[in-house]
Structure 1
Amino acid sequence: MHFVGVPLATLLQIGALAGAVVVVFYILKLRRRPVAVPFEKLWERILRDKEATSLFSQLKRLLSLLLQLALLALLLLALGDPRPAANILEGRNILVLVDASASMKATDAAPSRIEAAKEEVKRMVRGLSGSDRMLVAQMDAAVTPLSTMTSEIPDLEAAVASIKATDAGADFARGLRFGVDTLRGLSSPEIIVVSDGALGPTVDAAGPVELGDVRLSFVPIGSRSANVAITGFSVRRYPLDKSRYEVMLEVTNTNDEAVDVELSLFGDGQLTDLSQIRLGPKERLPRFYPNLSGASKTLEAKIAYANGSRDDLPADDHAFALLPERRRARVQVVTTGNMFLEAALLLDEYLEVTSVDPSKYPAKGNFDVTIFDGVTPNVTPGSGSLLYLNPSGENVPFEVGKPVEDTDPNYRLGFDELDEKHPILRYTVLSDVNIGRARPLKGEKEDKVIGRSYKGPILIAGSRAGVKFVALGFDIRESDFPLRISWPLFLLNTINEFVEEDVQYISSFRTGTVWQIPASSAAQIATLEMPDGAKRDVPVKDGRAVFLGQQAGFYKLSTGPDEVTTFAANLVDPAESEIKPATELVVGGRAAGAVGEFKVGVRREIWIYLLAAVLLVTAIEWLTYHRRVTV
């Protein structure tokens, strides 16, 4: 017999102390208080009758003491939790990995696969033998242990109740490695995977997961697999017309037969497009929606069977995106006067232009872009990115050559070589621009030559200390460039490249990954409001809030009363949308077996019977006391 609760040595010490206390109180109970009474002669006869029964009285008092000591012994034994040695050796150490990925939200098992999985685990918990121990862990993009390795039924049932499916895939390799590490060195180790089988590979950065002597068991969940899904969704504004945007999405049919579906687009909560399409068996169909308008902030896409049939996985029928904020770019123009430049800047209503004479530079405030037209003053902080037009001074981050003129009748001065894939040349044609006079520009090794004449580079781009610049090596008034539609396009493309609204903007994050969310670099902690309304604090490092996102929808990140960022997240994972349940699980060529015996019933633990005996002895003590047997 072994004591797995309080150690035997501790029990003996407690028993000796408590037994001594019981005996002392018992002796004090037997001590009689002398009372003076009259008529002593009358009491002598009664006392002589009492002596005849003294032996019986002593026996009664001894029985009372024995009952009290028996109660104490039973309570101490219950604290020790005695178990046979055979049970100690044969007990299992079980880790239950419950798949909580998005596919477990499927409703083919009422009310859902995750609820069916929780019921299976509850049956295992209630069927644990007295020597078994179990740890319950939730497996999604991370592995979250929800209990300790314990045999306490209430703790395990509370852990099972806290399981909740997410909108992310399951990292099966991480889950198995956690299980192997947890069970290492324990007797009869076993990993039980409760899942629909939509699990990834069992290989991670450390290589294949080796189970060793750990037994692997599998509890399959799910029955059907009718599902259509949105597996891609993004949006971008047009660079030169920020009131309009384009949408790209992808829909997938995971079924083995063709289906008709309805695809809906919502802008700011209002229906903007409704179309019915037919998807072939296992077809992934991209859809492109150009030149849309009517939404200023949020976009949502929904898909459903056209005939009203039930989709077994609603989690991937809804996708979210956020349009880039249409903020005004602050532009500072340092010029003595240039009608062509000022007119081109009027074409974009989202430009806030401030013109300043070179002698009064800089203007008050901070700017996103500063345009130096024929001047090169010392750049002051707050000027933003820089556009040099016809630079000629020394205060520039590149070399400016001597002027060259278009005097050679055999060679026209213009753009002979162009990097037409560069963003600032989008929608432009510069190859036929005629230039009267220009200055060749020479940047550093890391700078980009965008346009070159036979006399040298005349359009370059680069950055210095994190500040971007673009330089055009001629005065636009000494060319026919401002007479072409390419001039305002070039100017607005350059400003748009500096502002970077369309270059780096992410319309939605993908669930199941670590997000790097732009935040105030002065903050260390940000408050993140989840799609379900819950709030939590997340750390901020180098101007980025770091968070493992596992829920689709719209989020709000706040680092202060006036610093709130809204963003979206989506489950766009074709693997999770393939919800056909698996009937077997194979890891490293080894098939998982069936789950061992778990019988719901009374657990054969001796301490339970000891407590029952305590109650019985207490009842006997109460009955004999009130019947005047032990008094």
Structure 2
Amino acid sequence: MTSLFINTLGPLGWTLLTLVPPAIIALYFLKLRRQPLEVPSTFLWSRTIEDLHVNSLWQKMRQSLLLLLQLLFVLLLILAVLRPGMEGEQKLVGDRFVFLIDNSASMGSKDAEGDQSRLDEAKARVLEMIDQMDSGDVGMVVTFSDRANVVQQFTDNQRVLASKVRSIEATERTTDILEALRVASGLANPGQSSFEEGDIQVAEAKPATAYILSDGRFQTITDFSFGNLQPVYIPLGTEASSNVGILAFSTQRNPDKDDQLQVFCRIARFGSEPSEVTANLYFNNELLDVARIALDPDDGTGGAQFDLGSLDVGQLRLEIEHDDVFPADNIAYAAINPPERAQVLIVSEGNDYLRFALATGEIRRIADVKIVSPEYLNGEDYPKEAASGRFDLIVYDNCVPKVMPEANTVFFGGKPPIDEWVFQEEQVLPQVIDVAQSHPVMNFVNLGNVSIYKANPIEAPPGATVLIESDQGALMTIAPRKSFEDAVLGFSFLVTEEDKTFFNTEWTKRLSFPVFIKNLVEYLGGVRSGQGEMSIRPGENYTFRSSGFASEVHIRPPSGRVRTIVPTADNLFSFGETDQLGTYEVREGSSDEVSRYFSVNIFDAEESEIQPKLEIETQWETIQGQETWLPMRQEYWKWLVVLALIVLLIEWYIYNRRVYI
């Protein structure tokens, strides 16, 4: 509650001010020193004689209107210094406003039975603020989830602003406010700013107020300075809200029984209840299995594993039975895709160990392998196959093509024909000191007891990842190229010296070598052995290549019309309309059969933890949340000063009339 008075003076100021009234009163008791003057009569000096009576210290003081007016003047000044006022109507402060409205998935939560969603509450509050805008004020409306969207550029038309706010809809996306703040700061700080007439450069800072309406479920704001942008955070939601959500749901082949599938899920509780939930697994909309999942009393997490056996291609859906305020994360989607074999070309000569590794039953199950000699690179067929994307993976063993193909590649002992790849001076007996076993290419690959005779340390293009590190530098690196990846090994398996060929390393004789070759084929060959596609989040792009070099593919979302997309020059398809949660069907060309599925899920702990944050953390400061926008205090001191001046004028007028009339 706002206090009636606000003290604006210190002890010394109040002491001096309180001495003024006694000083004024004392003036009316003082006897004036007058020079004696003889006159023939006192009749014309009656008024002067009255003043002599008043200024007599020993005479009773008579009523004086001037004294009352002077004391009233001082009293009004004292009250003005106390700044009397009270809380009035809540109004906006400033004349430039940016309304940042969070429309991420968690804003669809309803914190009470039958109540409006958090997004509905945010829209209602912004509409009230728009009504409070004065003539000439300008406002902008920006929504944000994982990306920002300028709903309405700066305008002083309140009807347009209100219409745009009412049209805002919820999304299923996660939350990231940074891009929205950068849009908002365009008006307050020098830089790029957007207006109705177009984008202009702001030469001078223009302060603005940014009203952030959100539940605060985003990361700490870093690498951003508000500058002249004044943030006001209005948290939405109820702290007592609790939620249970699915954070992971995936399928994979049983490592012991390759023809069987397994499903894994992880569930988390955000709040005090419940201690366990029931999870229902559906396959093609038919109930397949049910599990009771206990949630850890400390961290609130739990998981389950479902053994599916050998199932055909189809869609999986996991639902948890729990009635909470955020039902969007109570359902997760996955799919079983048809198997897809990798098309692999091996360009090699005389490396029997490489041939043996490619002839294993595991490789035959996941890939079609074609082995040719280096002379094949100079023939008529290779340039066409390399340019068309015929192969998913091409391995160059001790040889190099003239032009990089439209495929993922592996180079053993050779440098790709790209300037950014550099082989350093040859080193003898480099010692392997580290292997990136977290990378799929190096899974379960141990090189601790492997010796290498000669090798060339590698300098790779930007964005590369070192897979094998030695005391002389990187011996194997993988780097992106357009939509492909290139892996380069800095040493050959075979070397020739003085017309003699011998093995440069005994790695080919170790058990880890066939594992390494299998990893290469699986990862760079894009093998899908009938397991679920990697899930993506709402709004992310899904990219893939057509196995049959289709000229177009048709994608059916969970609901809505079918979308048709065409590939890029390297047979790459990219689909970005992934706002709906669920499983998407992909059909290639004119075929009616589904060639693959992909799923869209939230899978974000920050979004599922729906308790609102009462403050926003930034790199430099903490912004405390406010229940509503800034209230406007009704100040009365200005009116008291005006009234005091009027009293002073009246006192001056009366004094002059009394003396001269």
TM-score range, shorter chain: 0.5 to 0.7
Call closer, same or farther: CA 1:398–1:440 in 2, change over 3 Å: farther
Which secondary structure does the structure 1 equivalent of 2:364 belong to? coil
Call closer, same or farther: CA 1:445–1:138 in 2, change over 3 Å: closer
Contact conserved, 1:170 with 1:199, CA < 8 A, in 2? yes
Cα distance per residue 1:513-541 (max 9 Å; x no partner):
x6474579x99x99986554366999989
Distance 1:312 1:426 in 2: 41
Which secondary structure does the structure 2 equivalent of 1:495 belong to? helix
- The Cα shift of 1:314 comes to 0.8
Which secondary structure does the structure 2 equivalent of 1:316 belong to? helix
Contact conserved, 2:366 with 2:527, CA < 8 A, in 1? no
Partner residue of 2:582? 553
- The Cα shift of 1:96 comes to 3.4
Which secondary structure does the structure 2 equivalent of 1:124 belong to? helix
The 5 A counterparts of 1:309-348 are 309-321=322-334, 326-332=339-345, 344-345=360-361, 348=364
Distance 1:358 1:187 in 2: 66
- The Cα shift of 1:320 comes to 3.2
- The Cα shift of 1:167 comes to 2.0
Cα distance per residue 1:1-42 (max 9 Å; x no partner):
xxxxxxxxxxxxxxxxxxxxxxxxxxxxxxxxxxxxxxxxxx
Partner residue of 1:113? 117
Q: Residue 102 in 1 paired to residue 136 in 2?
A: no
Q: How many residues align?
A: 473
Q: 1:259 aligns with which of 275, 289, 303?
A: 275
Distance 1:497 1:187 in 2: 52
Q: Residue 576 in 1 paired to residue 607 in 2?
A: yes
Partner residue of 2:518? 492
Q: What letter matches 1:508 in structure 2? A: S
Distance 2:333 2:452 in 1: 50
Q: Residue 594 in 1 paired to residue 625 in 2?
A: no
Q: 1:124 aligns with which of 125, 128, 131?
A: 128
Which secondary structure does the structure 1 equivalent of 2:518 belong to? helix
Distance 1:203 1:384 in 2: 38
- The Cα shift of 1:261 comes to 0.7
Cα distance per residue 1:214-256 (max 9 Å; x no partner):
7x37374457513101123455557998755555543210112
Instruction: Structure 1: give runs of 5+ residues left out of the alignment.
Output: 1-88, 390-396, 402-415, 453-459, 599-631
Q: What letter matches 1:574 in structure 2? A: A
Which secondary structure does the structure 2 equivalent of 1:579 belong to? coil
Q: What letter matches 2:223 in structure 1? A: A
Cα distance per residue 1:91-140 (max 9 Å; x no partner):
96554333212111113343541463266248627955773755443232
Q: 2:169 aligns with which of 164, 167, 177?
A: 164
Distance 2:136 2:469 in 1: 75
The 5 A counterparts of 1:299-318 are 300=316, 302-305=318-321, 309-318=322-331
- The Cα shift of 1:269 comes to 5.0
Cα distance per residue 1:432-471 (max 9 Å; x no partner):
99xxxx995644546999899xxxxxxx867899754675
Partner residue of 1:510? 537
- The Cα shift of 1:567 comes to 3.6
Partner residue of 1:206? 224
Call closer, same or farther: CA 1:488–1:528 in 2, change over 3 Å: closer
Which secondary structure does the structure 2 equivalent of 1:155 belong to? helix
Distance 1:191 1:431 in 2: 57
Q: Residue 229 in 1 paired to residue 245 in 2?
A: yes
Distance 2:188 2:446 in 1: 68
Cα distance per residue 1:308-360 (max 9 Å; x no partner):
x5121011112334567632123457789989678625863333244668998
Larger deviation: 95-104 or 465-474?
465-474
Contact conserved, 1:147 with 1:156, CA < 8 A, in 2? yes
Contact conserved, 2:265 with 2:303, CA < 8 A, in 1? yes
Distance 1:221 1:113 in 2: 9
Partner residue of 1:27? none
Partner residue of 2:266? 250
Q: What letter matches 2:560 in structure 1? A: G
The 5 A counterparts of 1:449-464 are none
Call closer, same or farther: CA 1:345–1:511 in 2, change over 3 Å: same
Q: What letter matches 1:207 in structure 2? A: S
After superposition, the CA RMSD in angstroms is 6.4
Partner residue of 1:9? none
Q: What letter matches 1:533 in structure 2? A: G
Q: What letter matches 2:626 in structure 1? A: A
Distance 2:558 2:544 in 1: 18
Q: TM-score, normalised by structure 1?
A: 0.54
Q: TM-score, normalised by structure 2?
A: 0.52
Call closer, same or farther: CA 1:200–1:439 in 2, change over 3 Å: closer
Partner residue of 1:73? none
Contact conserved, 2:209 with 2:229, CA < 8 A, in 1? no
Distance 1:450 1:498 in 2: 17
Partner residue of 1:75? none
Q: Percent identity?
A: 20
Distance 1:337 1:507 in 2: 35
Call closer, same or farther: CA 1:476–1:142 in 2, change over 3 Å: same
Partner residue of 1:277? 293
Which secondary structure does the structure 2 equivalent of 1:250 belong to? strand
Distance 1:304 1:211 in 2: 43
Call closer, same or farther: CA 1:561–1:418 in 2, change over 3 Å: farther
Q: What letter matches 1:496 in structure 2? A: E
Call closer, same or farther: CA 1:239–1:487 in 2, change over 3 Å: farther
Contact conserved, 2:143 with 2:149, CA < 8 A, in 1? yes
